[in-house]
Amino acid sequence: MSLRHGLLGLLRHHESTGYELSKLFNESLNYFWKAQMSQVYQELNKLEDLGFLVSRSVVQDKSPNRRVYSITDAGIEEFQSWMRADDWDIGASARNIFLLRFFFAADRNLDEVIEILKKTRGRICQRLEEMIYAKGHYGSHGPEGSDRHRLFWSLTADFGRRVVMARLEWIDETIKILEGVENENSGI
Amino acid sequence: MSLRHGLLGLLRHHESTGYELSKLFNESLNYFWKAQMSQVYQELNKLEDLGFLVSRSVVQDKSPNRRVYSITDAGIEEFQSWMRADDWDIGASARNIFLLRFFFAADRNLDEVIEILKKTRGRICQRLEEMIYAKGHYGSHGPEGSDRHRLFWSLTADFGRRVVMARLEWIDETIKILEGVENENSGI
DNA sequence: TGGGTCATGTAACCTGTTACATGATTAG
DNA sequence: CTAATCATGTAACAGGTTACATGACCCA
C-alpha cells in the first residue's frame, strides 16, 4: 500500500475509470507513484467489494464499454482517516540496487566503475530532462484545476527534481574521487 | 530481488551465517539495503537448493548451532553475471507515500500542512544524525577491511546523506513557500 | 498491413512482511 | 529478575509484476 489510498484520493472529487486512473499514475504522477494497469483494475475491484467505491457501466459505440467508478461516503471516510495520520513517513525505503552494486564494485577495475558511473550519469540527465518537460503537464489530465492543486503538484515535481539533482552531484563527486585514486595509484 | 545477490556478494569472500548476514544488512548496510531475518533464512535456503551455496552445521556448547554458508563456483558465477550487467538501474522507484499524501494535502488547511512538514523535518534531521553516526561503523563488521572497501562504503554513505539533505532542503523551501501563500491570503 | 490507442480483465508468480515458536546464555 | 542476545526456522498474508487474452478502431 497505498495504491488503495491513491485511487481513493484521485476519485474523491471526480469519478473515473481504471484506464484513466492508471494513465494518470503512469503519466502525470509518475515520479512519485507508478502502478501497473492490472493492479489498478484489481484494486478497484477490491475497493468496490469493501464498499468504498461503486461502479456503473457506460456503453460506447466506437470503443469498449467503460466501467466508471465513484467514491462512496465510506470511501471518503477511509481516505480521510488515512490522511489524518500526521506522522507522514519519509519513506527512504532503504533498498537501492544501484548502491548495492556500487558497494560490491569495490573490487572491480576502477576504469570499469568510472565508465559505468558515466553511463549512469547520462541516464540520470535524460530523466531530469523528462521531468522538467513533464512540469506543467498535470493541468490537462488532473482531477482538479485550482491554483492550490497546481501549486502542490509543482512542489511534488520539485521534490523529484531535487532528489535527482542530488544523485547527479553525488555521481560527479564520486567520479572525481575515483579518478583521483586512479591517478594516485598509477603515479606511484 | 536482489537480496539474493546481496547475500552472494557478502559471501563471496567469507563464509557466514544467516544471523550474521542479517545483522550486517540491518546494521551496517541499512541505508541502502534492509532485510528481515526470516527472509534471509529463506533466501539462503533457496540459494542452497539452487547450488549457489553450501552449508555445514557448527556445533557450539554455549549457544545454538550455527549453519555456516559458503559460496560455490556456481554462486560466484551467478554473482558476477549479475554485476556484469552494466546498465545499473538508478532505481528512483517512484513510489513515495509521503509525496502521495502531500499531493492530496492540497485541499487541507495550510496551517496543518505546514505543521506536518515541520514534524517531518524533525524526523529527517534525526535520521541524518543517525547516518552521520553510522559512518565509520562498517570496518568492524565488514567482510573486507581493505582501503578500497572502506572508500566505497563511505561513498555509499555519502549518497544516502546527500539524498536526505536534498529532502531537507525541499522541506525548508516548501515551508517557506506555503507560509508565503498563507500571508498573502490573510493579507487580502 | 502493421502498430498504436482504447478498454477490461485473469492467473501465476515473486518478494517481502508479520506473526509465531523455541530455548539457552548473559549482562544490568 | 528481566531484558537482550544468540540462533534457527515455519506459515500466512499482502503487495506488486509479468504474461496472457480479447477485440475494435484509427493512422501511416
Segment B78-131, tens digit of pLDDT: 999 999 886 787 766 678 999 999 999 998 999 999 999 999 999 889 888 877
What is the spatial distance between Cα B43 and Cα B52, in angstroms, rounded to a whole number? 11
What is the spatial distance between Cα A23 and Cα A13, in angstroms, rounded to a whole number? 17
Mean pLDDT, consecutive 10-residue segments, chain A of 188 residues? 93 95 91 93 96 94 88 97 83 82 94 94 86 58 70 91 94 97 78
What is the spatial distance between Cα B117 and Cα B175, in angstroms, rounded to a whole number? 7
Mean pLDDT within B133-137:
57
Do B32 and A96 count as a contact with CB atoms less than 8 A apart? Answer: yes
Do A165 and B166 count as a contact with CB atoms less than 8 A apart? Answer: yes
Q: Which residues of B touch A88 (CB under 8 A)?
A: 97-98, 101-102, 116, 120
pLDDT at B134: 60
Q: Does nucleic acid strand D have an atom less than 7 angstroms from the CB of B37?
A: yes
What is the spatial distance between Cα B165 and Cα B171, in angstroms, rounded to a whole number? 10
What is the spatial distance between Cα A107 and Cα A102, in angstroms, rounded to a whole number? 10
Mean pLDDT within B7-32:
93
pLDDT of residue B187 exceeding 90: no
| pTM listed for this prediction | 0.90
Q: Which residues of B touch A167 (CB under 8 A)?
A: 90, 92, 159, 162-163
- A160 touching B, CB under 8 A? yes
DSSP secondary structure, B103-161, as one string: HHGGGS-HHHHHHHHHHHHHHHHHHHHHHHHHTT-HHHH-S---HHHHHHHHHHHHHHH
Q: Which 3 state secondary structure label does DSSP give B72?
A: coil
Integer distance in angstroms from CA B62 to C1' D1? 21
Share of chain B above pLDDT 90, in %: 63
pLDDT at A141: 44
- A102 touching B, CB under 8 A? yes
Residue nearest to nucleotide D16 (CA to C1'): A39
Integer distance in angstroms from CA A71 to C1' C20? 38
pLDDT at A144: 54
Q: Which residues in range 38-67 of chain B are in contact with strand C, contact meaning CB within 7 A of any of its atoms?
A: 38-39, 42-43, 62-64
What is the spatial distance between Cα A3 and Cα A47, in angstroms, rounded to a whole number? 11
Residue nearest to nucleotide C5 (CA to C1'): A63
What is the spatial distance between Cα B175 and Cα B111, in angstroms, rounded to a whole number? 10
Tens digits of residue pLDDT in B20-52: 999 999 988 888 899 999 999 999 999 999 999
Taking alpha carbons only, the member of B126, B122, B104 closest to residue B175 is: B122
Residue A27 DSSP symbol: I
Measure the N-to-C terminal CA separation of chain B; round to a whole number of Å: 54
A134: buried, middle or exposed (CB in 10 Å: 19+, 13-18, 0-12)? middle
pLDDT at A183: 84
A-B Cβ pairs (cutoff 8 Å, strict) = 194
- A107 touching B, CB under 8 A? yes
Handedness of CA B12, B18, B20, B26 (dihedral sign): positive
Taking alpha carbons only, the member of B146, B159, B47, B183 closest to residue B92 is: B159
Which nucleotide C1' is nearest A55 CA? C8
Question: From the CA of A70, how many Å to the nearest CA of chain B?
Answer: 17
